[in-house]
Structure 1
Amino acid sequence: MVPAGHAGAYQLFNQAVEASRYIDMYDSPPGSVDINWPASGSGAWYNGEIYITDPTPWGEPTLYHEYGHFIMDVYADLPTFDYCNGICDTGGCGHCIWHPETGYIHHMEGVPNFFADVQSAYWNRDDSYGFETHSATADTYPVSQRDEIEGITASILWDLYDSPADNQHNDNPRDNLSLGFDEIWNVTTNYDPGGPSYDYPMTIHQFWDGFYSFYPGYRQGLWSIFAEHHIQKDFTAPTNPTSVYSSSHSTYTWSNDRTIRFYWSGASDNLSGVDGYGIWVSETSTGNPSAVIDEEGTSHTTSSLVDGTSWYFHIRTADNAGNWNSGAVHRGPYYIDGTAPTGLIQINGGDTYTRSRTVTLNLSASDNLSGLYQMRFANPESLYSVWEAYKTTKTWTLRDLDGARRVYVQYKDHAGNVSTSVYDDIRLDRQAPTGSIVVNGGDAYTNSQTVELTLSASDSASGVSQMCFGNFGESWTPWETYGTVKTWLLKDIEGWRRVYVRFKDHAGNTNGTAQYYDAITLDRIRPTGDISINSEESYTNSRGVTLTLTADDSGSGVSEMLVANLGVSGSVWEPLTGTKAWELKDLDENQYVGVMYKDRANNLSYTYIDSIILDRIEPTGTVVINSGDPQTWVRYVTLGLNASDSNGLDGMRFSNNNLNWCPWEPFMTTKTDWCMTAHGGMFRPGVKTVYVQFMDPAGNVSTSCTDDIECVGGAFNPPMSGVLILLDEE
């Protein structure tokens, strides 16, 4: 009913028409309700009909709000209450959107407030109601039951209706639904909570149940909006992930990657949804992560872990309502070893030199965790070999070039850590040393089985290290340290002896078949010989004699001799000759001359001696003719002889003129039949002289000894003229 002539009636009529058109867009309109204007009193209200007073400034929101009461009356059987019932903060205000009410008044007022709110073109939500900004935390009065505040109820319905961009909450907005009016109308008018008193939602919790039942696809958004208004509807913990795995590591398997990457899936929450996950990486196999969200996604990379064999990954799920799964998913153990092995290498046991490209590598490495796994090698300027199983020795081929050679090695453990390259050096020397040997300074002969070897050797690469020796036809001696002098024992056989030497360098190279040797003649046999003075004469009257010297040596040959008078020093060795002029001592006596011979091996002969009597004193003597007779009548006389010499008399001779001598003849004390006319005698009577000389064995001749006798008679007359007389001359 519209009083005639009142302008407000027309405005109210137009607004009612617009409102009815809007509501007619939805199913099952509740029917019509009477509007009374102007009503007595103040404000606007519903009490079976809508009452609007004048001059209250009103519009469509007011009309919709009161129409909302009509809907609640029709569908929810909620009658009009006396709002100012003594529990409001200000008496006579109507109702308060932030004040807790009793029973279900919050819902009865919340729906009408929402109806007014949807007419946003005519109503500023930031004015007197402020549904979005009045949450429990902003209430003026202490609030113990947030679900009994009509402002919160209206705000929840509004958040279901509006777009997410329209959210004005200040804390962590979770208004992610924008449904419009249909779903809200459907729940409000069609959901039967099944209670004994009402057939429609009467509290915000019953509205939750209806919306949760009618629209399961919007449950998480519904929960989010309720939670935003501090009404918690999710008390069930989410499930933990059903699949948890690492893309970088495997359990019970070593890895050198200290950070482990995990992925998971399958966690679920049927209401508020999964909010995130608590993560704990520990060295224990069980235990729950703390109730702190560490990851919101479905992957996690650990921080850098220390080495160890007991790393475990624990994960549990939290939902958006703050519920945590009471258990956790555990994965492990994961073995971490980020420390590389350490090791050493020796070539040929640490030798400095080698003569072969093929060497033995002595390997030593350690790894405290995952253990040694593989190794690989390289010569300088070449790539590493392929990885192979670790062992303590390895046969390796050096680079084909004499000189300093280096070999590198790297070790890998089971976690894949690779050590730094370590190396060892060795000098490759494949050239044999060269050298020489000289026996006894180059002598051709020796009289001793023990000789001195002079050695010289050189090796430009590794140097000379050892030497060994051998006589011809005999085995080699053991190797000994190289030196330049060596005492050696020749083979115990006279003759030409050869001594061999072999040299070895530090790399083990020897001169092999290129043997070095020297030879010497071993001669330990004395030479033999003889000496003869004056061709074996027994006497000499001269100090100067001739020595006849003979010597023989079948080995090295006689080279020198030493001649000396017995008891006289100062003789020197001189070359061997067959004869030698020699001077005896200046003594008339039996003299001895000795000689020693030396061969080329310096062997000395025994002393060979010869003797001769030096006699330089003339014999003395006398001669007597016919026993001293003064005269003789015949030419033949008898001579009486007397002579002496220390060495005896060896001969005598006679002459009648001291010039013509008869031949020497052995000394006798009597000479018969000496012819006075022979050997210089004359046929003439008169006194005649007989001469005699004596000679000793040394050849000394005495002065002439004489005796006279007178020759008378015709026997001494000269022969007649013309008559040949044959004389008996001796």
Structure 2
Amino acid sequence: KGWYISDIIVNLTVVDLSNVSKIEYRIGDGIWQNYTGEFSCSVEGNTTIYARATDNAGNLESPWKYKFVLIDKTNPTTPNLLAPENNTWTNNSIIFFDWSDSFDQHSGIANYTLQVSKDESFSYFNYTATVTVSEKLSASLADGIYYWRVIVKDNASNNNISDVRIIKIDTVKPGIVTLTYPGTGVPEIADNTPTFEWEEVIDSLSEVAYYEIQVDNNSDFSSPEYWDNSTTNTSTPTQTLDDKIYRWRVRAIDNAKNKGDWSEVRGFEIKSGAPTGLMLKINNDASYTNSTTVTLSISVDNPTGSLDYVLNFSNDGNTWSGWEPYNESRDWDLTAYGGNSTEGEKTVYVRCKKSPDVTVFAQSDDNIILDLTLPNITLQLPLDNVWVNYSGIEFKWKAWDNFLLSGSYWIQIWNYDKNEIIHESSVAGSTANNETSTYPYSLSDGKYYWRVKASDKSGTWCDFTNYWLLKIDTENPGIPGLISPMNNSETDKNVVTFSWENLTDLSGVVYYTLQISRNPEFSDLICSVDTVINKTTQTLPEATYWWRVRATDNAGNVGDWSSKWRFIIFTGGPTNLQILINAGATETNNESVYLIVYAINATQMCFSNDGNTWSAWENYNTIRAWTLEIVEFGNKTNKAVYFKCRNEYKESTSVNDSILVNKKPPIITITTPSQAINVSYIIIEWKCDEPLETIEYFEVCSISSEYSDGLKEWINVGKNNSYYFTNLEEGYHVIYARGKRLGADEAGGAHSIYILIDSLPPANLQITFLDTSVVNGIEYTNSTIINITLNGKDDTSFTKFVSGIEKFYLSNDNVHWHLYDYTGFPLTITWNLTKDVTDGDGSKTVYFKVVDKGGNWNITSSSIFLDRKKPINLEINMVHCDLFDGNVNTTSITLSLSAYDDGSGLWQMSFSENGTEWGAWIPYNQSYIYTFINLTSQIKIYFRVKDRAGNENITSFEIGLPDLSITHISFEPSDTIPIGTTILINVTISNTGENDAVNITVWFYKYDPTNPENELGYKLISFIGKGENVTVSLGYSQWETGSFPIWVWVDRENKIVEIKEGKDNNSLSKTIYFVSSLDILPTNITFSVNGVEPSYIFEDNTVTITAEIINLGGNIKIPFWVEFWF
């Protein structure tokens, strides 16, 4: 009847005239199990459940009953969306949707549903389709942004939903670009790397992604000299343009790849005077290199006229080598002049001038990828040191390179001793990283080693991988020779040891499989067991068995079955003998009875009344009529029946049963059951085992638990077989009934029942919620699934006799009740607060109803507030902080806090500096003075809030710290100064941190800064903003000559919290020199033009004025000024 999506419960029923001895069932290919009651089947897939019954006569049901069961509890795998790419623009309104097949192991895939909507929540669909296989679907959609997903469903209606992707459609191309510079006409431009400019274009939907510019000396733009994509409205060539007349144009391309129309074409002429045709090639135009030393090839137009040309080179376009004579080839170091040894794309720049004296130059460049890292290989299959059972080996590996693999590999296969290469070959494999490459090769059985190496596009080969051991065994194990128990043997032992020959195999036997069956076809398996040794012991009941063995080796080869041997187990006569007279009755008034007998392995039976004289042997059966020894009327005596049976080996056993033959007065049976009731009246009914015409009358009486003087008087009720008792008191009563036979002296055959009168309901009912928070007397929880403890008892206020609690119910609405069996109070159970009611937060009430065995009931209830939403809108800000004040020592900060909770309400908060170790919970407040634990690193405060239901949320707040350092010391006017002159000590303090600092003291020292006597003075800086520099100055002079260091110390007392970031924040020093006064004079002035004293000077001549200076003072070193006046 279709597929089940959960475990199923199986019930078996059977009918047999001779009664059923046992029922067995088997799930799939499992072992037969005895059926003792309903069982579950959880095996997913198409499973066959078999059942069979054996009756008391030993008959085994044939054929077996079976039923196919289809179970699929597992969702299909999630569809993997393939196309279109997520969150991308397209300029095609016809969208092709594609996804990979899902997998469903059991019921199989039923269908896929594609959903496309402009609403992220898919409240409506712009397109939807359902297909039975994964296939490309096309849809025509208007411009806009869409969300799409795929839902897969299997044949059991299990489903899974893919991720949601976004597709954006824009089919409108951008507008036409308006050019601005160079202007109209054909203007002449001296700059051979001009900056082209145009007006921006507005694209309303996907927006402009970039502009495409073409500059060509051909009117059809067939071979542009400069072709670039620019994300702004300007573009500057990195290579110089030769002196020519050019045309240029621009167009806009948006993010959906719509290309706008070309702008108008404008012209311009370059007149720079630079060399033309400059070209550079690295390593003869190679794409990759594995060395930082490369060969450059340079060419220009008219190379024969380039004798005065000079070149210089750079690796970054900023740091250039010196100018050198023109040469067509040159070795170059990629790490020099702005370069480095970092792997990746490298650009080499070259500039060329017509002579060293000119300033205008041409520039060109070329690129190459530097790859210094060796490829890396990971072997995959066959696995290392694992046996395989096939000779056609497909070697597999994955390779990785930080740039690009060449796809060239080399494989070697060695013998087991590693002294001979069995086979080696080059392999053309994958060029993609981590993609599997394969190499098929066939080998005979044995052990081998193999390894692989690879090369990348730079031509670098990596080392061979480590060896992997390959082990091949394609031969099945042999057939085991059986040893014990011998074929056609018999035994009286239930414990049987099975043994067989131990086999040798190339890969080694991993285990043997022993099968034991009740038939030679092995369709009725008793057991199937795997063992790693060539013997095992099994315990078996009496029966005839067949057994066989086969071997499985380490390579997975499975050998053939051995021969089938038969053996028999018998341990004596039949067993489990049973005899029942009149189906187990204890009494009869007739010598004619029927016998029900049972035995295992019985073939014949006979009977006796005294155990000495037996009836003739007859075929075994389970039902037999029999006559007891005669009992005289009016007597009552026990009579026995003996039952003896034997098996096919003539071994016999016996058993007996007895019954009371009673020819006394009739027996009364009260048919009204003993019970508890909650009223004071009851009708009692009975029956008599004798015909009513033989009865004179019936009598009844009742005795209460409150009486202790024996029975009440008997009440004659005639031949009625019922009586209506009224006005019974609360408590315990025993009701008797008996009958009097016609002609007897007195009534007899009395029978009794008890009646408990209980009219009070259960009391002291309690509901206790566990694991909840209690605030102001209200209980809160953040889960619909809660644990509750229930308590109560049956009311004993009226009498000590109570019926006792029978069952109880739980409800969320006092309407829909759920029954529970009573096992004792107090009792803790798990309860769902949303069962049968709307699933929403708020106050929830749980109702608890208890019913006793008398039918009395009572109800109580308790409420709890459900809140599953965590607090939101957490904010933490700094109100005030003295941490960065040079005059204040503090470790505290005032925080402004806020959060919102519309459920149970905000309750508590705590703080942390690492998000792991938290302070104690404290009542929630909007302001808090926080004291820091650790001030050695960047400060981050984590703020955690909890509502009354226990829902938590976390946010954090980073505090940027100032970072002060002395970045510069200078002396004004100089570090060397005549004695008696005041020198200004200028100190620059930088704040490279993340916050401002205030009240910073800068101390100045002569010589040792740790000696207070060396202090020259201090300056106070009131404020240094983050990222700012502040310079302070202190004047100083002396009349003694000499030199000494000036030390400056900032934030000497470490009052400002800082992050050092590799700088020495404490101090910095620089040496000052005080010297004697100078005596210097100019002695001669000369003029020259190009090294020659001129007779006259032309306009634009460069004149060199030389002043000779003489020092008539001491031998000292000091800077001075020489002023030239015209």
TM-score range, shorter chain: 0.3 to 0.5
Q: Which of these two proteins has the greater Rg computed from alpha carbons?
A: 1
Normalised to the residue count of structure 2, the TM-score between the two structures is 0.26
When you count helix as a share of all residues, which structure comes out higher? 1
Normalised to the residue count of structure 1, the TM-score between the two structures is 0.39
When you count strand as a share of all residues, which structure comes out higher? 2
